[in-house]
Structure 1
């Protein structure tokens, strides 16, 4: 089983990363702010503009350490990867299936079933825990509609139909999402999904978490030898990690949405940590970003019983296990890809 190693998040925009022997060093001005052994790291995620040294990029590629660059606002800029590794036959099978709509739809449907099921679980958990202060009728109606959609998806034979159900289920889910925000309603509310740029505090928080999740999904796929840019649900587009977006669909409600709601309802973040630009877009300040990343890492340490493997694992290993199960399906070791269902 893959060990859950550390992820280094570099949030200060005025820092520079370099290599010193077998250590990564974080420089701020002329001082060394941090030094960490490379062998303790799984990923490095940079929110800075100064970048990293070529030597560190090479070392990360050689040691299979993910190196991802985001803007200070959390927009994806790029990833550094090393030599292509893994089973070439596995990647060839991935490419062949991606070009076969009949076979591709089978996998895409599993991703979507996992996503909608987990969205329903988020809603049902809210009804159970906060039924006295939320509109149980509206939430129950949304859950029932999502359940009806789940019954239809296995009969789909076209990717366009699946994408249609993905869009309609997202509308149902996000229509009641505002009711799941129980605290700080003046600062955090949800009317509709907005991105590039997000136009309110809630969308900014969600977009930030989705970006982090996409990076971890891409790293997980690369670890098992799959190409994160060749997808089954999301169609290929230059520069878009389509398979990483596929994989994260079933994980969004569990990893990102629940964490965002917890951060707000527990008042771990506040509206003061979000700034509206002249363009109308909203960004997080540095301190709020640090709080979010700290809680993201803490959540990954929690343990659950994986619904398919029936083994107790760290929460943060879920993307890697799902990537492994996908690879096993592509190799013919499993009859179908088992999506992750949150219990």
Structure 2
């Protein structure tokens, strides 16, 4: 159980959260001592696995607009609860109208993929500069060249299905090169492509955990701006899937999640001892491992990044909100296009 800045993360299995006047009361199985935190200090709550929340606390958080995110014990995003829908109904109506017009939907979808490819390329460029083995360095550079070709293809794509195919091909070669960015003395081993549901090696387990945190951050940003997080321009419509959150997530995965994963592994802050293997081959972070990652995630969110459109630096934690607002302005026809965020 960790309170970091304005988010309360609870991963102790069997813990319970209850409303106590204007505070949240926390009870854990091994510690009957009462612990309370003032609700005014918390913007959000994230719980992992078997953690119970009283109906009174759920109602209070909904009333205050305080989001609660539910994750699996291994860190996979499950759901998010919010209060009453925010924003202007006209914005959501405009969002739904654009979805039905291919000529307007496709350019936005192209921008999401362009942002993902450009930021993936940035991660690889940084890795190529740091690589000491000439063979690895050349393989990374070859992947960068291919990414540039896919970026050109994405800009010329004539359908969302074509874009999704380009995205899939980019992801495949990117993760092959990503494995080359890991230091050889990393005791967690390498990765053989991207595996999820479940992740089958420590690297993929760490990536999945960080992607869950990133997705929660972006989902909340879309909600707060007033966009419909379930109607995506790239991922489309599917019951129970927050498609717009997944759309916006594309440009943020490489910088917010992948770079942090590389830092944690290559600096040996996260090691083999911080993972556990389950029957069936699934691999997850241990409770100690999750605590380390959550602590570093909170620090990572405080890092400032330059934003070209705003012409100033923005903390990582606020970048999804900024991009959601830019998208909303485009949807309202206040901006001619949606431009993805890429670090300068």
TM-score in terms of structure 1 length: 0.95
Which residue matches 1:256? 257
Which residue matches 1:113? 114
What pairs with 1:89-128 in structure 2 (closer than 5 Å)? 89-128=90-129
Does the 8 Å CA contact 2:18/2:24 hold for their aligned counterparts? yes
- CA deviations on 1:192-242 (whole Å, 9 max, x unpaired) are 111111111111111111111111110000010011111011121111110
Deviates more, 1:253-262 or 1:148-157: 148-157
Does the 8 Å CA contact 1:10/1:48 hold for their aligned counterparts? no
In 2, the alpha carbon distance for the partners of 1:299 and 1:311 equals 18
CA 1:227–1:134: 2 relative to 1, 3 Å? farther
Which residue matches 1:67? 68
1:280 positional shift: 0.9
In 1, the alpha carbon distance for the partners of 2:127 and 2:294 equals 24
CA 1:133–1:238: 2 relative to 1, 3 Å? same
In 1, the alpha carbon distance for the partners of 2:79 and 2:101 equals 29
**Structure 1 counterpart SS, 2:245:** helix
1:39 positional shift: 2.1
Which residue matches 1:87? 88
Which residue matches 2:22? 22
In 1, the alpha carbon distance for the partners of 2:188 and 2:253 equals 23
CA 1:289–1:133: 2 relative to 1, 3 Å? farther
Does the 8 Å CA contact 1:66/1:81 hold for their aligned counterparts? yes
Count of paired positions: 340
Deviates more, 1:12-21 or 1:108-117: 12-21
- The answer on 1:331 being equivalent to 2:306 is no
In 2, the alpha carbon distance for the partners of 1:296 and 1:33 equals 27
In 2, the alpha carbon distance for the partners of 1:269 and 1:245 equals 27
Which residue matches 1:38? 39
Does the 8 Å CA contact 2:186/2:266 hold for their aligned counterparts? no
In 1, the alpha carbon distance for the partners of 2:99 and 2:189 equals 40
Which residue matches 1:179? 180
- CA deviations on 1:158-212 (whole Å, 9 max, x unpaired) are 1001001101111121121111101544423111111111111111111111111
CA 1:266–1:130: 2 relative to 1, 3 Å? same
List alignment gaps of at least 5 residues for structure 2.
none
In 1, the alpha carbon distance for the partners of 2:135 and 2:304 equals 29
List alignment gaps of at least 5 residues for structure 1.
none
> Following TM superposition, where does structure 1 have runs of at least 4 consecutive aligned residues deviating by more than 6 angstroms?
none
Which residue matches 2:159? 158
Which residue matches 2:232? 231
In 2, the alpha carbon distance for the partners of 1:124 and 1:130 equals 10
Does the 8 Å CA contact 2:305/2:343 hold for their aligned counterparts? no
Does the 8 Å CA contact 2:235/2:247 hold for their aligned counterparts? yes
**Structure 2 counterpart SS, 1:78:** strand
1:34 positional shift: 3.8
- RMSD across aligned C-alpha pairs, in angstroms? 1.6
Which residue matches 1:307? 308
Which residue matches 1:218? 219
Does the 8 Å CA contact 2:5/2:298 hold for their aligned counterparts? no
Which residue matches 2:8? 8
Does the 8 Å CA contact 1:127/1:134 hold for their aligned counterparts? no
What pairs with 1:183-222 in structure 2 (closer than 5 Å)? 183-222=184-223
Does the 8 Å CA contact 1:15/1:28 hold for their aligned counterparts? yes
TM-score in terms of structure 2 length: 0.95
In 2, the alpha carbon distance for the partners of 1:118 and 1:162 equals 17
**Structure 1 counterpart SS, 2:43:** strand
1:102 positional shift: 2.2
Does the 8 Å CA contact 2:74/2:284 hold for their aligned counterparts? yes
Deviates more, 1:22-31 or 1:151-160: 22-31
